[in-house]
């Protein structure tokens, strides 16, 4: 099961949080993340994005998207800290905890400003930023030219796949 938690903590730009959380889920599914997975998708104002960019990425000013991967340490199932039994009434076997992939933080105001530069609508820019952020959590990068080409190609493929899923759902032939 894939859980994507979405929150809109800004008021400057209208955001379809449900649509974009569905997009993030499609990215995780298409990237074949094993087991149960969780991800947070948060839309923030420029001041919050600036604060995060300065504090965690040594940047200056707001940026469009930031990705914060979670640590690789997976909590072992069972009772903590002694790793003893699971307690009365608990199943004998502990289930696997979900993988917490991380957080994607998007600034819709920055997306709205840069969308015309990319020949896109604000909604298209937000979708691209969500895909970009999730791919960063899944260890895609763009430090080298070949990495950039790979990441951009995958972004296009995933956006096209999401468009297919949306068409399929809207046409009444499927759904979540």
pLDDT for the residue 176? 46
- CATH code at 29? 3.40.390.30
On whether residue 65 sits in a domain, the answer given is: yes
Strand ranges of the sheet holding 37-43, from the earlier edge strand across to the other edge: 2-8, 37-43, 99-106, 65-69
Helix, strand, coil in percent for the chain, rounding step 5 = 45, 15, 40
Q: What is the pLDDT of residues 126-147, one digit of tens each?
A: 999 999 999 999 999 999 999 9
Radius of gyration of the chain from its Cα atoms, rounded to whole angstroms: 18
pLDDT for the residue 95? 57
On whether residue 111 sits in a domain, the answer given is: yes
Q: Which residue has the tokens 């070949």?
A: 146
On whether residue 175 sits in a domain, the answer given is: no
pLDDT for the residue 172? 53
Nearest Cα neighbor of 129 from 162, 148, 104 is 104
On the question of pLDDT at 149 being above 90, the answer is yes
On the question of pLDDT at 68 being above 80, the answer is yes
On whether residue 16 sits in a domain, the answer given is: yes
- Give the model's confidence band at 109: pLDDT under 50 very low, under 70 low, under 90 confident, else very high: very high
Structure token pair of residue 110: 């920055």
On whether residue 176 sits in a domain, the answer given is: no
Q: What average pLDDT does this structure show over 48-60?
A: 94
- Give the model's confidence band at 167: pLDDT under 50 very low, under 70 low, under 90 confident, else very high: confident
d(CA 59, CA 67): 14
Q: How big is the CA angle at 124 (ends 50 and 37), to the nearest 5 degrees? A: 75
On the question of pLDDT at 121 being above 50, the answer is yes
Domain membership of residue 164 as a residue range: 2-170
- With 0-12 / 13-18 / 19 or more C-beta atoms within 10 angstroms meaning exposed / middle / buried, residue 170 is exposed
On whether residue 114 sits in a domain, the answer given is: yes
d(CA 30, CA 32): 5
- Give the model's confidence band at 75: pLDDT under 50 very low, under 70 low, under 90 confident, else very high: very low
On whether residue 90 sits in a domain, the answer given is: yes
For the chain, how many structural domains are there in total? 1
Q: What is the pLDDT of residues 81-97, one digit of tens each?
A: 444 444 455 455 555 66
């Amino acid at each position: 099961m894939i859980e994507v938690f979405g929150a809109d903590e800004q008021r400057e730009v209208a955001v379809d949080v449900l649509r974009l959380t569905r997009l993030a889920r499609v990215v995780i599914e298409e990237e074949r993340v094993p087991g149960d997975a969780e991800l947070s998708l948060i839309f923030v104002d420029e001041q919050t994005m600036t604060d995060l960019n300065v504090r965690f990425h040594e940047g200056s000013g707001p940026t469009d998207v930031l990705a914060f991967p979670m640590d690789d340490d997976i909590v072992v199932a069972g009772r903590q800290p002694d790793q003893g039994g699971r307690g009365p009434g608990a199943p004998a076997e502990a289930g696997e905890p979900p993988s917490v992939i991380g957080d994607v933080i998007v600034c819709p105001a920055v997306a709205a400003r840069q969308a015309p530069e990319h020949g896109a609508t604000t909604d298209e820019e937000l979708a691209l930023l969500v895909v970009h952020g999730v791919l960063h959590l899944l260890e895609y990068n763009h430090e080298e030219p070949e990495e950039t080409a790979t990441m951009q190609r995958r972004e296009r493929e995933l956006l096209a796949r999401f468009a297919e899923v949306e068409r399929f759902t809207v046409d009444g032939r499927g759904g979540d």
